[in-house]
Amino acid sequence: MARSRRLAVGALALAATRVLAPAGVRALARRRARRAGADPRPGRWQVVTVATAPEQALPAGRWPEPLRRLDGAVEVWARPAPGGRGTELAVRPLGGECTLPGFAAHLVGDDPGRFLRQVLRQTKQLLETGEVLRADRSPLDRPGTAT
Amino acid sequence: MRALCWAGAGLVEVRRVPDPELRNAQDVIVRVRRSTTCGADLPLLAGRVPEASAGEVLGREFLGDVVEVGPEVRRHRVADRVVVGAAVACGACWFCRQGLLACCDNGTSGVAAEPEWGQPSAGGYGRPARLGGFAGGHAEYVRVPYADVGAFAVPESVSDERAVFAADAAPAGWYGAELGEVAPGDVVAVWGAGAVGQLTADAAVARGADRVVVVDDRDDRLLMVTGHDRVEALNHRYVDVLAELRERSGGRGPDVCVDASGIPAAPGRWPVAEPDVGAALREAVQACRKGGVVVVLDARPGFVDRFPLGALADKGLAVRAARRRGGAAIPALLERMARDELVTEHLATHQMPLERGAEGYALFRDRADGCVRVVFTP
C-alpha cells in the first residue's frame, strides 16, 4: 500500500453523510449490516485487478468511468498487479469508515462497500470489454402468460 | 414468443414472453433450433434456488440461427447457424486469456451475482437473473452476450441433434479427461452414465486410456457405454464398486477418477431436501490410485459432508474441478463431430416440441423410459 498512488479528492455525499451521522445511528447500521451478512467493515478497500496496464486503467492519472462519477466521495489507489496481470484498482469511501444515514442509505443501501464493489466491477468490465454487461429484462418486468 | 419458464417449485410451463433484444453491442439474437435439458436445471426446478423468480426462461444448452447482430460483433452474421457455449464469458479478462472461460470475471451483471467467496464465475443461460444469469434457450429466441466469444459456427455436415451437445455436455466431458490428464495406458473410472459421463468416457478413450469403467445405477444408461471394447460398466446396485475397481486396475486403483454423477435422481417428485451429492465423490477419492487425479464435474450446489480427507492426504491425490468448460474447446469438438469421430445424437433419447417441456423435464428428472437427455424444438 505504501507504493500505491492515493488519489483522494474532496468530500461530497458519502463523506458528508458520515459527518452528519450520529454515532448511535452508525452503530445500529453496523449491527444491522452484520445481521444481513454484509461486510462488518463497510468502509474497507474494495479491490479488483483489471487486465490492462496502469496507464490504460488511469489515462493521464484520471479515474476511469464510471468510477469518475464518485469523484469527491471516495479515495482510489492503483498499482501494477504482480505477474503482469494488469492493474490493481482499489476504492473506499473517503476516510475509510462509513455508514450511511437516511437518504444516502436509501440510494446505495446500508453497505456502501457493496455499492462500491458494483461500481468497481462495472469499471473493470468497461476497461476490459469496452462495455458494461447489461442484464436481461427481469421476468418481473415482463410478466408472461401461460399458453 | 413462446418460452419454457420456471413457474415455481416443481412447475414449468410454456408462456408467452416478450422477445429478447440486443442489450449490449457484442450481443446477437439467436432463433433457437434445438435446446436440451441439463442436470444443472434440476435444483432450480425443484425450488431449491431461492434467487429464482417465476417466469425465468430455462435452457442452458442450445443452438440456432443468428437473426440479429450487435454493432461490435465481428465473427457472426445473420443466418449463421451457431451453437452457444454454456458459459457467458468476455474473452478479455485475465482468466479468459488463460483459457479459463468458465471463471470469467465479466460474465455476469451486478454484484449480486457474486458468490459469498467474492469471486464471480462466468454467467450462464437459464440461470436466475439474481445470480447474474441470462434468459435460457428453451425459447423461440435468445439473446447471446459476448457472441464473438461464446457462439460458434456449426459445420454444415453436422446435424442439429449432434451439434446441440457441443454447447456444454461434450466440452464438459472432454474437459473431465483433460483435467485428469488422461494418458495412454491409463485406467479411468467415471461416475455417472449421463451425457457428460458418457462423453467423458469417449474422451478418455480418445486420449488413449487402456480401460474406462463407468459407474452408475441405471442399466439402460450403462448399456449405452459398452459399445466400445475399452469401456466397461459397473452398476453399483449389484457390485462392490471399490473392490471391482481394485480388481480391474491390478490392485492399484484407477489412475484418474471423474465424478460426473451430477444431481442424484429423485423419481416421481422434485427433491425438496438436499440430496447427498457427495456419495460419488467419496467413492472416487477412496478408489483412486495413490498419486492419482480426482476430477469433479457438474454444477452441484451446496456442501459435501463426510469428505474422506484422510484418504485424500494419505494417497497424495490431486483434486481438480470445473462447472463448465466454456467455449474454448467447442470448435475442435465441432470438427470432431464433422469427421464422425464424436457422435452424440444417441444421447438425445427423447425429442419433443417445446410445448411438452413439462413432460420432458419430468422424464429427465426421473431418468424414466431410458431418458438421458430431452431435446426440444421450439
Q: DSSP characters for B275-342?
A: P-TTHHHHHHHHHSPTT-EEEE-S---S--SS--HHHHHHTT-EEEE-S---GGGHHHHHHHHHTTSS
Same domain, B130 and B244: no
Same domain, B357 and B297: no
Is the per-residue pLDDT at A10 higher than 70?
no
Scan for cell 454444477, then name that residue.
Answer: B299
Q: How far apart are CA B95 and CA B101, in angstroms?
A: 6
How far A23 CA sits from the closest chain B CA (Å)? Answer: 29
- CB atoms < 10 A from the CB of B356, how many? 17
pLDDT score recorded for residue B179: 96
Best interface-test mutation with A: which of B44, B106, B117, B130 has the largest number of A CBs within 10 A?
A: B106
Helix, strand, or coil (residue B90): coil
Is the per-residue pLDDT at A131 higher than 60?
yes
Backbone angles phi, psi at B377, to 5 degrees: -115, 120
- Segment A4-17 shows an average pLDDT of 36
Residue A45 DSSP one-character state: P
Please give the model's pTM, rounded to 2 decimal places: 0.88
Q: How far apart are CA B25 and CA B8, in angstroms?
A: 33
How far B84 CA sits from the closest chain A CA (Å)? Answer: 17
How far A129 CA sits from the closest chain B CA (Å)? Answer: 6
pLDDT score recorded for residue A110: 62
Same domain, B285 and B246: yes
Q: How far apart are CA A22 and CA B152, in angstroms?
A: 57
- CB atoms < 10 A from the CB of A27, how many? 12
Q: How far apart are CA B357 and CA B2, in angstroms?
A: 11
Sign for the CA dihedral angle at B281, B284, B290, B292 comes to negative
Q: Which three cell numbers stand for residue A131?
A: 462495455
Alpha helix segments (H runs only) across chain A: 13-20, 23-35, 54-57, 102-108, 112-129
Is the per-residue pLDDT at A100 higher than 60?
no
Same domain, B283 and B307: yes
Q: What is the ipTM of this complex?
A: 0.90
pLDDT score recorded for residue B266: 64
Contacts of A135 in chain B (CB under 8 A): 23, 109-110, 129, 132, 134
Looking up residue B174, the CATH number of its domain turns out to be 3.40.50.720
pLDDT digits 0-9 by tens, B241-286: 999 999 999 999 999 999 999 876 666 666 656 667 788 999 999 9
pLDDT score recorded for residue B268: 67
- CB atoms < 10 A from the CB of A7, how many? 16
Strands B374-377 and B350-353: parallel
- Segment A94-101 shows an average pLDDT of 62
Looking up residue B45, the CATH number of its domain turns out to be 3.90.180.10
CB B336 within 8 A of CB B207: no
Is the per-residue pLDDT at A140 higher than 90?
no
Same domain, B217 and B113: no
Same domain, B18 and B161: yes
How far A136 CA sits from the closest chain B CA (Å)? Answer: 6
Q: How far apart are CA B117 and CA B19, in angstroms?
A: 35
What is the extent of the structural domain holding B305? 169-321
pLDDT score recorded for residue B65: 98
Nearest CA in chain A to B143: A136
Residue A104 DSSP one-character state: H
pLDDT digits 0-9 by tens, B136-185: 999 999 999 999 999 999 999 999 999 999 999 999 999 999 999 999 99
Strands B211-216 and B187-191: parallel
CB contact under 8 A, B15 and A86: no
Q: Flag whether residue A84 sits within 8 Å of chain B, measured between CB atoms.
A: no
Q: What is the mean pLDDT of chain B?
A: 93
Residues ≥6 apart with Cβ < 8 Å to B21: A137, B29, B143
DSSP B127-151: S-GGGT-B--SSBSEEEESSHHHHE
CB contact under 8 A, A142 and B18: yes
Q: How far apart are CA B164 and CA B294, in angstroms?
A: 28
Q: Which residues numbered 4-33 in A keep a CB inside 8 Å of some CB on B?
A: none
Nearest CA in chain A to B111: A118
Same domain, B151 and B177: no
Nearest CA in chain B to A147: B15
- Number of Cβ pairs < 8 A linking chain A and chain B: 102
- CB atoms < 10 A from the CB of B370, how many? 14
**Distances, alpha carbon B317 to alpha carbons B252, B253, B257, B290, B313, in Å:** 13, 12, 10, 7, 7
Same domain, B216 and B129: no
Q: Flag whether residue A140 sits within 8 Å of chain B, measured between CB atoms.
A: yes
- Each domain of chain A, given as residue ranges in start order, spans 5-129
Same domain, B179 and B212: yes
Q: Which three cell numbers stand for residue B276?
A: 447427498
Backbone angles phi, psi at A134, to 5 degrees: -100, 140
Q: Which three cell numbers stand for residue B340?
A: 464422425
Q: Pick from A122, A119, A49: which is nearest to A79 by CA?
A: A49
Q: How far apart are CA B313 and CA B304, in angstroms?
A: 17
Same domain, B161 and B241: no
CB B174 within 8 A of CB B203: yes
CB B256 within 8 A of CB B293: yes
Q: Flag whether residue A147 sits within 8 Å of chain B, measured between CB atoms.
A: yes
CB contact under 8 A, B26 and A49: no
Contacts of B142 in chain A (CB under 8 A): none
Is the per-residue pLDDT at A24 higher than 60?
no
Q: Pick from B88, B96, B43, B55: which is nearest to B274 by CA?
A: B43
Q: How many domains does chain B have?
A: 2
Contacts of A116 in chain B (CB under 8 A): none
pLDDT digits 0-9 by tens, B222-247: 999 988 889 999 999 999 999 999 99
Contacts of A56 in chain B (CB under 8 A): none
Same domain, B370 and B225: no
Name the pLDDT band for A38 (thresholds 50, 70, 90). low
Same domain, B116 and B225: no
